[in-house]
Amino acid sequence: MKALDIIVVGGGMVGLSAALMAARQGLQVALVEAHAPKPWQKEQPDQRVVALALDNQALIDSFGLWQDVLDRRAYPYSTMTVFDAVHSTPLRFDAGELGRPYLGHILENDALVEVLWQAVIHESNILLYCPDKIGSLHETESEVRIGLQSGVELSARLAIGADGASSRVRELLGIATEDHDYGQKGLVAFVHTERTHEHTAWQCFLDSGPLAFLPFGEHCCSIVWSLSQTEADRLLKTEPEVFCQALDSAFAGKLGKTRLLSDRIAFPLRRRLAKTMIQGRTLLLGDAAHAVHPLAGQGVNLGLRDVSALRDAFTASAGKTGDALDGAQLVRWARTRYSENTVAALAFENINRIFSNDNVALSLLRGHLLGIGDRIVPLKNAMARYAAGL
């Protein structure tokens, strides 16, 4: 067996992308994943959707896989409209103003994971250990040793923990996290809408939290509704008609009457930021490093940006020192990504705090902010560029 360069723990969207990226740079990779992914189903869409920004679409395209994603299912959106329940002036971002045909695509977690998984299993530079789990992690001066629960022992020059918000890699390294429980759940489902969504990703701010309608087919939207835990639990159990009445009322009937097309599921919303993204020769990526509020669908985008930035660090390092895994570049990568992810996580949280609040002063402020944001074109374009990943 060839000596390993990198062991990636976790084969979600971020770990699979990291493994592929490293393998395509000529590095020898082992990928450890606890469960083989459940297959994408044409007839039963995965409720966990992603608003994939253009820079992350480019990352998937660089693997030669974007067409495979489109062959399954992905819906472009060319406008993003942000409004609140009280004020009339919405904030609208148009792809045309940025000279683009669209701002991003809505796609299912299962579809992207399946496409990446298929590529990983055919990649000669990747050894796959699945189903298996990390059991131990020890570092020596020059390598990381990882013991798997199956008894397999692996060693490599670098380890990557991409094993999600409850990361075992992070725990084994003793890296502390800064946690904030929003006391909310994100309720997700697919609904039929009476009016067409106009290829727009809608984000409505309510006192209780944001409600997104994301285009998913002609008269179909994926909704992501942030609610107090009690309200989410209540709405999960109500009759479909009663649920849709509450939804239509919250969304001010913008797309007409809705009809439920799927089960409803809810997941707890919390911010969890690891204190560092590097320790010794191990890196944390994706939700293992930063689980954030799913406002504007940016959570997954941050994780995939970790991967793109790591590719740039490998390339720069190989150019300078002849070694893609040079420590100084990795430390620089971790510092930059840590500050960008922290700023983004806190920005999402502050937007949520200002816009999802029944405080009268904040309510007045948000109306002004939306109006101002819409009128100041350079500010609006800067926000649109950030959301689209340009």
Ligand X SMILES: Cc1cc2nc3c(=O)[nH]c(=O)nc-3n(C[C@H](O)[C@H](O)[C@H](O)COP(=O)(O)OP(=O)(O)OC[C@H]3O[C@@H](n4cnc5c(N)ncnc54)[C@H](O)[C@@H]3O)c2cc1C
Query: CB of residue 162 vs ligand X: minimum separation in angstroms?
Result: 5
Instruction: Determine the interface stretch with ligand X among 201-209, 296-304, 308-316, 369-377 (rule: CB under 6 A).
Output: 296-304
34 binds ligand X (CB under 6 A): yes
Q: Which of 24, 48, 87, 192 binds ligand X (CB under 6 A)?
A: 48
Q: How far is the CB of 259 from ligand X (least distance, A)?
A: 21
- CA–CA–CA angle 177, 169, 1 (5° rounding): 160
Ranges within 101-120 binding ligand X (CB under 6 A): 109
Q: What whole-number distance in Å separates Cα of residue 162 and Cα of residue 291?
A: 12
- Binds ligand X by CB under 6 A, chosen from 5, 8, 15, 29: 15
Contact call for residues 85 and 247 (beta carbons, < 8 A): no
Q: Nearest residue by C-beta to ligand X?
A: 12
Note whether 31 binds ligand X by CB under 6 A: no
Helices in the chain by DSSP H: which ranges?
13-24, 54-62, 66-72, 109-121, 168-173, 229-237, 240-250, 298-321, 327-355, 360-375, 377-388
User: Rounded to an integer, what distance in angstroms lies between the CA atom of residue 227 and that of residue 187?
Assistant: 7
Q: Classify strands 153-161 and 282-284 as parallel, antiparallel or unpaired.
A: parallel
With both helix axes pointing from N to C terminus, report the angle between 54-62 and 13-24 in degrees, rounded to the nearest 10. Answer: 50
Stretch that binds ligand X, among 93-101, 192-200, 248-256, 294-302 (CB under 6 A): 294-302
Binding of ligand X by 8 (CB under 6 A):
no
Q: Which stretch binds ligand X (CB under 6 A): 12-20, 63-71, 198-206, 382-390?
A: 12-20
- Identify the three-state secondary structure at position 295: helix
Total number of residues that touch ligand X (CB under 6 A): 33
> Cβ neighbours of residue 348 under 8 Å, at least 6 residues apart?
292, 293, 295, 296, 298
By CB under 6 A, what part of segment 118-177 binds ligand X? 133-134, 162-164, 168
Interaction of residue 14 with ligand X, rule CB under 6 A: yes
**Those residues with Cβ within 8 angstroms of residue 103's Cβ, 6 or more apart along the chain or in another chain:** 53, 54, 77, 78, 79, 80, 93, 95, 201, 384, 387, 388
Reduced to 3 states, what is the DSSP secondary structure of residue 52? strand
CB nearer to ligand X: pick between 26 and 183: 183
Q: How far is the CB of 169 from ligand X (least distance, A)?
A: 7
CB 305, min distance to ligand X, A: 12
Structure tokens at 132: 């298996």
* Minimum gap (Å) between residue 268 Cβ and ligand X: 9
27 is a site residue for ligand X (CB under 6 A):
no
Interface of this chain with ligand X, residues 211 to 270, rule: CB under 6 A: 224, 265, 267
Contact pick of 69, 82, 116, 188 for ligand X (by CB under 6 A): 188
Beta carbon nearer to ligand X, 10 or 45? 10
Cα→Cα distances 328→6, 165, 334, Å: 17, 27, 10
Binding site for ligand X (CB under 6 A): 9-15, 32-35, 48-50, 109, 133-134, 162-164, 168, 188, 224, 265, 267, 286-287, 294, 297-300, 303
